């Protein structure tokens, strides 16, 4: 742990002699000892090493935007719905500021987090019984897993009755979509602090957890449901776990062919290829990792002209469309040959990971929102031409559709119309409707039910709501209170890799 040691203000305290005055100055003010303050007030919950204990890790990589001044606000006021108390009555403003600076400073060196540390963190709580159906009557294929980041819980929702079956705590700050086993029975969650939790949907109980990294990005499950891959920023590794008992199967040090280390941006399941595909943040390589056979867990390196880190795969997983870090250029790589087959520039940072696929005018196309401009780009998957750029009310993050609906829904959560969803007609590529679930409140992230007949939209606030609409008439059907429902995932759509959802 790096400790920020006290330093003293050495500026002259008596300067007034210059104008013939005598000034009696007070003693020099010592700056707060942030390391000591951390040990006294934070270490018990967040760990002496800042890697987290009952509270989350306090590293800038994990805190994301809650660094500097914003970290100070949390230290002062505490966090609602967590055990984090406010310290404004206990600590002086300069002490809070020093602590905020301390937790916003990266560790001098990253502690080892290899197979031994991962294994030591593994906890299995319950051995799932053999079952041929769930313990409840609801259709297991039409359940939704709702991730509620407002108070770090997840809800299992009956998609027919639109009623919660259960709600349970998760680790702090889940990120990315939870991943399901091919039968839809088990679901895996990942937190930014690197915890992977396995949950048995059929018995509504947690199976266990393991900490696969210190700062993780996302997870993927192999097509056979046997392996979970974890993409890490800290340490720079790709970890493969047994999906059954979460034991470590491989820890792959992420380095390019020349040995240069890289953060792993994300990992995906390339189902038809029986492999994982990983995006490297810092080196111009894409990795494909077979999950069985002689070359299991040995990365195949695909060299690219620059690092690509946000991916969309065509439905056959024959090509990956990736965007460069600054979003200025996007490249299409053939998964078979590893060669770049197309390159184009899309303005305003496309969010390819939220892209959806569908047919338009008889052609296979994909549509992607843009993070920095109110646009949707529609790209033909047969010749990689941009067939339409559709203006929206503002930049958005997510997009969703379903095979059984002619509409795709997108949000404007990153712009002035953050409270409004917009609906694209996939036949005409025109925006045909705008819906504001709760004026002034952020609306984002959509999921369809199994049939494509209902649409669930998040009011992305704490407290927030799920607002459910008829997918054909857009009539509102129901509201369910939720704590910042950041994402919801329909079991059927996910295990069938619906073209309308992210994978
Ligand atoms: Fe995400 C998915 C990367 C910030 C909420 N996000 C993903 C995925 C990636 C990614 C690679 C696909 C993984 C998967 O589902 O397996 N996200 C990034 C970033 O690089 C970025 C821009 C910066 C970062 O801090 O990591 C980022 N993401 C955010 C947020 O700020 C969001 C809005 C709030 C949050 O919870 O952090 C956010 N990301 C999500 C969600 C998904 C996601 C809800 C799953 C989408 C889905 O429907 O599948």
CB of 500 closer than 6 A to ligand 1? Answer: no
φ and ψ at residue 174, rounded to 5 degrees: -65, 150
Distance of CA 172 to the CA centre of its chain: 12
429, part of any domain: no
Q: Is 117 helix (H, G, I), strand (E, B) or coil?
A: helix
| Residue-by-residue pLDDT tens, the chain, 503 positions | 333 333 333 334 333 333 333 444 556 667 899 999 999 999 999 999 999 999 999 999 999 999 999 999 999 999 987 889 999 999 999 999 999 999 999 999 989 999 999 999 999 998 999 999 999 999 999 999 999 999 999 999 999 999 999 999 999 999 999 999 999 999 999 999 999 999 999 999 999 999 999 999 999 999 999 999 999 999 999 999 999 999 999 999 999 999 999 999 999 999 999 999 999 999 999 999 999 888 999 999 999 999 998 999 999 999 999 998 777 789 999 999 999 999 988 888 899 999 999 999 999 999 999 999 999 999 999 999 999 999 999 999 999 999 999 999 999 999 999 999 999 999 999 999 999 999 999 999 999 999 999 999 999 999 999 999 999 999 999 999 999 999 999 999 999 999 988 77
pLDDT for res 328 = 78
**Residue 169 falls within a domain, yes or no?**
no
Instruction: State the Cα–Cα distance between residues 407 and 166, nearest whole angstrom.
Output: 31
Q: How many residues can be counted in the chain? A: 503
CB of 308 closer than 6 angstroms to any ligand 1 atom: no
- Quick check: CB of 218 below 6 Å from ligand 1? yes
Per the rule left: phi > 0, alpha: psi between -120 and 50, beta: everything else, 60 is alpha
Distance CA 172, CA 59 (A): 14
Question: What does the pLDDT read at residue 124?
Answer: 98
SS (H, E, C) 436-500: CCCCCCCEEEEEECCCCCEEEEEECCCCEEEEEEECCCCCEEEEEEECCEEEEEEHHHHHCCCCC
Q: Whose CA is nearest to atom 10 of ligand 1?
A: 176
Classify 48 as helix, strand or coil. coil
Measured from the Cα of 268, ligand 1's closest atom is 16
Please report whether residue 48 resides in a domain. Answer: yes
Whether ligand 1 lies within 6 angstroms of the CB of 397 is answered as: yes
Nearest-atom index, ligand 1, CA of 310: 11
Domain count within the chain: 1
Taking the centre of ligand 1 as the mean of its atom positions, its distance from the CA of residue 50, in whole angstroms, is: 23
Closest CA to 487 of 447, 448, 436: 447
**What does the pLDDT read at residue 447?**
98
3-state secondary structure 292-329: CCCCCCCEEEEECCCCEEEEEECCCCCEEEEEECCCCC
Cα 202 to Cα 238: distance, rounded to the nearest angstrom: 29
Give the pair of three-digit tokens for residue 399.
């997009």
> 70 lies in which domain range?
34-103
Nearest CA to ligand 1 atom 6: 176
Q: Which residue has the tokens 């990153």?
A: 414
Q: Which atom of ligand 1 is nearest to the CA of 445?
A: 48
What is the 29 CA–ligand 1 centroid distance (Å)? 44
- Ligand 1 touching residue 64 (CB < 6 A): yes
Position 288 scores a pLDDT of 98
Nearest CA, atom 25, ligand 1:
64
The protein residue with its alpha carbon nearest to ligand 1, atom 37, reads 175
Q: Reduced to 3 DSSP states, what percent helix, strand and coil does the chain have, rounded to the nearest 5?
A: 10, 40, 50
The CATH number assigned to the domain holding 75 equals 1.10.760.10
Collapsing DSSP to helix, strand or coil, 252 comes out as strand
Decide: residue 411, CB within 10 A, 0-12 exposed, 13-18 middle, 19+ buried.
Answer: buried
In a domain, 42, yes or no: yes
The pLDDT value recorded for residue 347 is 82
Task: Tell me if 176 CB under 6 Å of ligand 1.
Answer: yes
The number of beta carbons lying within 10 Å of the beta carbon of residue 350 is: 27
Q: Residue 326's pLDDT is what? A: 76
Q: Is the CB of 93 under 6 A from ligand 1?
A: no
Q: Is 323 in the pocket of ligand 1 (CB under 6 A)?
A: no
In this predicted structure, what is the pLDDT of residue 7? 35
Q: Check residue 309 and give its pLDDT.
A: 85
pLDDT of residue 325: 76
Residue 70 covered by a domain? yes
* Biggest alpha carbon–alpha carbon distance for the chain: 93
CA 386 to centroid of ligand 1, rounded, Å: 25
- Does residue 76 belong to any structural domain of this protein? yes
Give the residue whose CA is nearest to atom 1 of ligand 1.
176
Q: Contact, 422 vs 433, CB < 8 A?
A: yes
Asked whether 502 lines ligand 1 (CB < 6 A), one says yes
477 is a domain residue: no
For residue 46, tell me if it sits in a domain: yes
Would the CB of 177 count as within 6 Å of ligand 1? Answer: yes
How far is residue 145's CA from residue 445's CA, in Å, rounded to a whole number?
A: 13
Q: Probe ligand 1: pick from 153, 176, 266, 321, max atoms within 8 Å of CB?
A: 176
Terminal-to-terminal C-alpha distance of the chain: 38
Within 8 A by CB and 6+ apart from 367, the residues are 355, 356, 358, 376, 377, 378, 379, 390, 399, 408, 424
114 CB near ligand 1 (under 6 Å): no
Give pairs for 187-192: CB < 8 Å, separation 24+: 187/145, 188/219, 188/221, 188/228, 188/243, 189/147, 189/154, 190/216, 190/218, 190/219, 190/230, 191/216, 192/56, 192/62, 192/64, 192/216
């Amino acid at each position: 742990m790096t400790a920020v040691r006290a330093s003293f203000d050495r500026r002259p305290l008596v300067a007034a002699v210059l104008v013939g005055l005598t000034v009696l100055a007070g003693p020099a003010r010592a700056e707060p000892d942030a390391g000591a303050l951390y040990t006294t007030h934070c270490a018990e919950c967040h760990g002496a090493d800042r890697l987290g204990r009952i509270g989350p890790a306090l590293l800038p990589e994990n805190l994301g935007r809650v660094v500097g001044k914003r970290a100070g606000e949390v230290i002062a006021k505490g966090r609602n719905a967590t055990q984090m108390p406010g310290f404004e009555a206990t600590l002086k403003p300069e002490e809070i500021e020093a602590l905020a600076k301390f937790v916003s400073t990266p560790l001098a060196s990253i502690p080892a987090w290899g197979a031994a540390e991962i294994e030591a963190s593994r906890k299995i709580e319950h051995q799932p019984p053999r079952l041929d159906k769930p313990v409840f009557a609801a259709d297991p294929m039409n359940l939704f897993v709702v991730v509620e980041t407002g108070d770090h819980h997840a809800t299992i929702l009956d998609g027919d009755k639109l009623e919660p079956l259960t709600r349970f705590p998760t680790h702090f700050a889940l990120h990315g979509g939870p991943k399901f086993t091919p039968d839809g029975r088990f679901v895996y969650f990942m937190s930014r602090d690197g915890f992977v939790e396995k949950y048995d949907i059929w018995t509504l109980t947690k199976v266990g957890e393991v900490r696969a990294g210190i700062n993780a990005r996302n997870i993927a499950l192999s097509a056979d449901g046997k392996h979970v891959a974890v993409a890490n920023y800290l340490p720079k590794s790709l970890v493969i776990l047994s999906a059954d008992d979460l034991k470590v199967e491989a820890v792959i040090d992420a380095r390019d062919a020349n040995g240069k280390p890289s953060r792993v941006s994300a990992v995906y399941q390339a189902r038809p290829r029986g492999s994982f595909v990983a995006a490297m943040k810092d080196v111009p390589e894409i990795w494909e990792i077979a999950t069985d056979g002689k070359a299991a867990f040995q990365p195949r390196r695909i060299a690219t002209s620059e690092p690509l880190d946000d991916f969309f795969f065509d439905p056959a997983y024959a090509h990956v469309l990736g965007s460069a870090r600054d979003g200025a250029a996007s490249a299409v790589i053939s998964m078979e040959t590893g060669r770049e087959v197309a390159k184009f520039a899309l303005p305003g940072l496309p969010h390819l990971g939220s892209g959806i696929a569908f047919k338009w005018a008889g052609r296979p196309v994909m549509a992607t929102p843009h993070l920095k401009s109110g646009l949707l780009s529609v790209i033909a998957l047969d010749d990689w031409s941009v067939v339409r750029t559709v203006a929206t009310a503002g930049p958005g993050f997510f997009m969703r559709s379903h095979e059984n609906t002619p509409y795709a829904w997108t949000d404007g959560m990153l712009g002035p119309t953050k409270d409004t969803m917009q609906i694209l007609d996939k036949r005409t590529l025109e925006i045909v409707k705008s819906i504001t679930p709760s004026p002034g409140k952020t609306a984002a992230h959509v999921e369809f039910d199994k049939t494509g007949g209902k649409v669930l939209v998040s009011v992305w606030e704490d407290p927030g709501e799920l607002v459910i609409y008829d997918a054909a008439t857009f009539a509102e059907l129901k509201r369910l209170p939720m704590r910042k429902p950041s994402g919801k995932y329909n079991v059927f759509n996910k295990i069938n890799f619906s073209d309308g959802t992210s994978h």
